[in-house]
Amino acid sequence: MNRAVVVGAGVLGACVAYHLARAGTDVVVLEEAGPASGTSGATFSADVTHLKTPHAYYRLNRQGSDGHRALAEELDGPQWRHPAPIVQWADNDDAQRALHERATRVRKWGHDCRTEPASVLRELAPAVDPTACAADEVVVHTGTAWFDAPRLVHALLDAAVRLGARTHYGTRVTGLLRSGARVVGVEAGERRWGADTVVNCAGPAADQIAVLAGARLPLRHVPGLVAESAPLAEQPLTAILSAPGIDLRPTTDGGVLALSWEVDARLTGTAADGLPQELHRRGRTVVPGMGGARIAAARIGVRPVPLDGLPLVGEAETAPGLYHLVSHSAVTLAPVLGRLAAQEITGGRRAQELAAYRPERAVDGDVQDENLRAMNRRAGRGDGNSEGQL
Ligand SMILES: Cc1cc2nc3c(=O)[nH]c(=O)nc-3n(C[C@H](O)[C@H](O)[C@H](O)COP(=O)(O)OP(=O)(O)OC[C@H]3O[C@@H](n4cnc5c(N)ncnc54)[C@H](O)[C@@H]3O)c2cc1C
């Protein structure tokens, strides 16, 4: 029987562990804290397929998005996939034009999106103050969803355990066992686990796991803040909104989750003094019902962002036996990346879909993903006067 050790219990670790266990692999998941305690517990976690370029990367995200639907039917437990339209608008001509250009592009790629008069907000998102949208038209994406990422992680790990996987929380991997160049297991303090494959799903700490094998993973660490409101008293939010300077989505218990790249640009270290309040204030200008709901939680997550913006997936050339599985937008991508990685690890064919994302490719810092280029620009500007992230 093949043995795999998965390092990290975020969306990627949970998804690959589930698919490995399903394929009959002897799986051990080692997690330094608890399930979804890293970035997957502090994320906006909307389906971001429509943002992705180039076309092949869009298609990969589309497979991720479709994979969520399939997994939602396959797994028991509380639902984590929440279908909702994405509604976008901007507050200046350039940004509005960019939204329309993107809509035209993804429509050509078969994406379900359209331009509508702004009055459609009354129907799709009655919780929105109509005066918050000065644009005549909005872009509406349908077939989209937001995800409760911690619930997804728990559902996948529970299913993996039912299939025989073992989980060890509070277990920090501190070293890799080697036989020559080959990685043959891990150590966590005094404990050791042998494995045919060690799967590096440590998210923003994945580069540190790579260093243990003398390898380098070209990652940037980009912090982001999300603030969650208590449940709204009256009209709940029914759409995912990308408004100027603020993104908003519903939460599982009827509140609203807020994110803003301009606010993220003001994050220093881990301190978020006053910034959750700033997110809440921005949110209230769009969804007035947030005014009567206190801030229930605020979290900072660190985005693991490969230098060219695209995933890093595959066995390390210099350290066979170590398989990297790292990506930004990994909530959207987890179902497809977890499935394809498990297929490669269990000795199936090398997945053609992953050929462009091998960890050893030349990553010269040119960001391939247009969405990340925009994030870099806006976060750098931090002037609070632009589009939302989505
Ligand atoms: C503010 C924000 C907004 C986002 N919005 C979206 C979005 O809308 N859509 C989307 O698809 N994505 C979004 N993302 C990105 C997405 O959340 C991440 O790509 C994803 O959560 C990464 O998952 P992961 O499993 O790779 O990493 P993580 O969830 O960080 O999991 C890694 C785990 O490894 C553990 N670990 C680390 N080192 C060790 C070690 N040595 N030993 C044992 N365990 C270890 C950690 O404790 C952690 O639990 C967003 C991220 C942020 C921060």
pLDDT digits (tens, 9 = 90+) for 324-381: 999 999 999 999 999 999 999 998 789 999 999 999 998 776 676 777 776 666 655 4
Task: Give residue 14's pLDDT.
Answer: 98
Residue 80's pLDDT band (cuts 50, 70, 90): very high
CA dihedral 90, 93, 98, 101 (to 10 degrees): 110
Give the span between the Cα atoms of 25 and 4, in whole angstroms: 7
Give the span between the Cα atoms of 113 and 191, in whole angstroms: 52
Interval between CA 10 and ligand 1 midpoint (Å)? 6
**Is 114 found in the same domain as 45?**
no
Does the bond joining 54 to the residue before it have cis omega, within 30 degrees of 0?
yes
Q: Which atom of ligand 1 is nearest to the CA of 33?
A: 47
Whether ligand 1 lies within 6 angstroms of the CB of 33 is answered as yes
Is residue 366 assigned to a domain? no
**Is 211 found in the same domain as 179?**
yes
Interval between CA 72 and ligand 1 midpoint (Å)? 20
CA-closest residue to ligand 1 atom 14: 329
Question: What is the CATH classification number for the domain harbouring 50?
Answer: 3.50.50.60
Structure tokens at 219: 């990652």
pLDDT digits 0-9 by tens, 1-28? 799 999 999 999 999 999 999 999 999 9
**Is 311 found in the same domain as 301?**
no
Q: Which atom of ligand 1 is nearest to the CA of 328?
A: 19
Residue labelled with tokens 């803040």: 225
Interval between CA 133 and ligand 1 midpoint (Å)? 32
Task: Give residue 97's pLDDT.
Answer: 93
Is residue 50 assigned to a domain? yes
Give, in order, the Cα–Cα distances in Å from 239 to each of 48, 82, 131, 278, 329: 14, 10, 17, 21, 20
Pair type for strands 191-194 and 166-169 = unpaired
CA-closest residue to ligand 1 atom 49: 38
Q: What is the mean pLDDT of residues 145-172?
A: 98
pLDDT digits 0-9 by tens, 261-282? 999 999 976 666 899 999 999 9
Domains in the chain, number: 2
Helix or strand or coil: residue 256?
strand
In this predicted structure, the answer to whether residue 319 has a pLDDT above a threshold of 80 is: yes
Q: What is the mean pLDDT of the chain?
A: 93
Whether ligand 1 lies within 6 angstroms of the CB of 328 is answered as yes
CA quadruple 183, 188, 189, 194: dihedral sign: negative
CA-closest residue to ligand 1 atom 41: 173
Is residue 328 assigned to a domain? yes
Q: Which atom of ligand 1 is nearest to the CA of 30?
A: 43
In this predicted structure, the answer to whether residue 199 has a pLDDT above a threshold of 80 is: yes
Interval between CA 2 and ligand 1 midpoint (Å)? 26
**Is 300 found in the same domain as 282?**
yes
Range of the domain at 238: 85-143+221-305+371-381
**Is 238 found in the same domain as 194?**
no
Please classify residue 117 by burial: count the beta carbons closer than 10 Å to its beta carbon, then call 0-12 exposed, 13-18 middle and 19+ buried.
exposed
pLDDT digits 0-9 by tens, 133-142? 999 999 999 9
- Cβ proximity of 72 and 83 under 8 Å: no
Residue 385's pLDDT band (cuts 50, 70, 90): very low
| Planar angle of CA 101, 148, 288, nearest 5 degrees | 65
Task: Give residue 87's pLDDT.
Answer: 98
Interval between CA 253 and ligand 1 midpoint (Å)? 22
CA-closest residue to ligand 1 atom 53: 301
pLDDT digits 0-9 by tens, 89-133? 999 999 999 999 999 999 999 999 999 999 999 999 999 999 999
Give the span between the Cα atoms of 182 and 322, in whole angstroms: 8
Residues in the chain: 390
In this predicted structure, the answer to whether residue 146 has a pLDDT above a threshold of 50 is: yes
pLDDT digits 0-9 by tens, 222-257? 999 999 999 999 999 999 999 999 999 999 999 999
Choosing from 16, 29, 31, 43 the residue with most ligand 1 atoms within 8 A of its CB, the one to mutate for a pocket test is 43
**Is 329 found in the same domain as 236?**
no
Is residue 99 assigned to a domain? yes
Is residue 387 assigned to a domain? no
Share of the chain above pLDDT 90, in %: 88
Is residue 386 assigned to a domain? no
Task: Give residue 270's pLDDT.
Answer: 61
**Is 183 found in the same domain as 161?**
yes
Task: Give residue 140's pLDDT.
Answer: 97
**Is 252 found in the same domain as 195?**
no
Question: What is the CATH classification number for the domain harbouring 246?
Answer: 3.30.9.10
**Is 129 found in the same domain as 52?**
no
Task: Give residue 348's pLDDT.
Answer: 73
Is residue 388 assigned to a domain? no
Structure tokens at 6: 């998965």
Q: What is the mean pLDDT of residues 202-222?
A: 95
Give the span between the Cα atoms of 99 and 146, in whole angstroms: 20
Is residue 323 assigned to a domain? yes
**Is 92 found in the same domain as 59?**
no
Alpha helices in the chain (DSSP H): 11-22, 55-74, 93-108, 120-124, 149-162, 206-212, 261-264, 275-286, 330-345, 370-381
Helix or strand or coil: residue 318?
coil
In this predicted structure, the answer to whether residue 386 has a pLDDT above a threshold of 60 is: no
**Is 191 found in the same domain as 334?**
yes
**Is 298 found in the same domain as 156?**
no
Task: Give residue 77's pLDDT.
Answer: 82
In this predicted structure, the answer to whether residue 390 has a pLDDT above a threshold of 80 is: no
